[in-house]
Amino acid sequence: MKKAVLILGAGSEIARAAAAAWARRGYAIFLAGRDVEDLARSAADLRVRYGVTTDHAVFDAQAEDSGRIITDAVQKIGALSGVLIAFGDNGDQRRAETDDAEALRIMDVNFVRAALMAAAAARYFQPLKTGFIVGISSVAGDRGRQSNYVYGASKGGLSLFLQGLRNRLAREGVHVMTVKPGFVDTAMTFGKPRLFAVAAPAAVGEAIVKAAERRRDVVYVPGFWRSIMTVIGFIPERVFKKLSL
């Protein structure tokens, strides 16, 4: 069977890199995102470099009928082997502290909409008894920090949702993988002061696809973030409160 992946939030640099890694393996790629003119360019790049079938469509995770993208993609490039949920928005933590609309928007995009897309993908794959759903969460979801807990809470919620979904679908042959990127060299982190080295998106994209092939459950990319987050998890709350993380 021809293999195909639907990428939701395909404008992000991690999504672009993961799409390239799947294309290198011969997968047909359907790119969905907000900037359709730009998606056409990414789609052309995948066709030219890797000789794969591509298509693309405009997609807004917060639109009423966002779930329709799955049937649209199937109509255009055929049965899907997997879905990557890569959209997200860091938002403005400071603003969210005083402006509920901003807090709601961050939680809606990163948790509600991402979880609902995972649910829609699950409804598609479950009767087929095959397929994978990869959701991009974040290390920010592992522990609430004063500097970005609205985003962190929504990503933490997404991690839990994906975990539950993974357990439900495990006996149905559908694999659900949670990706927790650390600092990746993307627009989101560009120029921000950081404690650890940033990873190149290309390496992260390749790591995600490799992990999905191996049917890993939760992957930190780059891998050393698992240790960092373990250490951070051990810091007692009474100490953590005093750190300005």
Residues that bind another protein (CB under 8 A): 9, 11-13, 35, 37-38, 41-42, 44-45, 48-49, 87-91, 186-188, 190-191
Least Å distance, CB 98 to another protein, is: 18
Least Å distance, CB 35 to another protein, is: 6
Least Å distance, CB 229 to another protein, is: 22
Which residues have CB under 8 Å from 137's CB, separation 6+?
A: 155, 156, 158, 159, 162, 178, 179, 180
Residues 78, 2 contacting (CB under 8 angstroms): yes
Least Å distance, CB 49 to another protein, is: 6
Q: How far is CA 29 from the centre of its chain?
A: 16
Nearer to another protein, 45 or 172 (CB): 45
Nearer to another protein, 114 or 169 (CB): 114
Whole-number Cα distances in Å, 90 to 18, 30, 41, 77, 141: 20, 24, 25, 31, 12
Least Å distance, CB 38 to another protein, is: 4
Nearer to another protein, 127 or 191 (CB): 191
Least Å distance, CB 69 to another protein, is: 17
Nearer to another protein, 9 or 205 (CB): 9
Q: Which residue has the tokens 């990319």?
A: 221
Using alpha carbons, select from 104, 102, 106 the residue that is nearest to residue 89: 106
d(CA 201, CA 186): 7
Nearer to another protein, 81 or 110 (CB): 110
Which residues have CB under 8 Å from 1's CB, separation 6+?
A: 79, 81
d(CA 175, CA 129): 10
Q: Cite the DSSP H helix spans in 78-137.
A: 93-98, 100-107, 114-125
Nearer to another protein, 38 or 172 (CB): 38
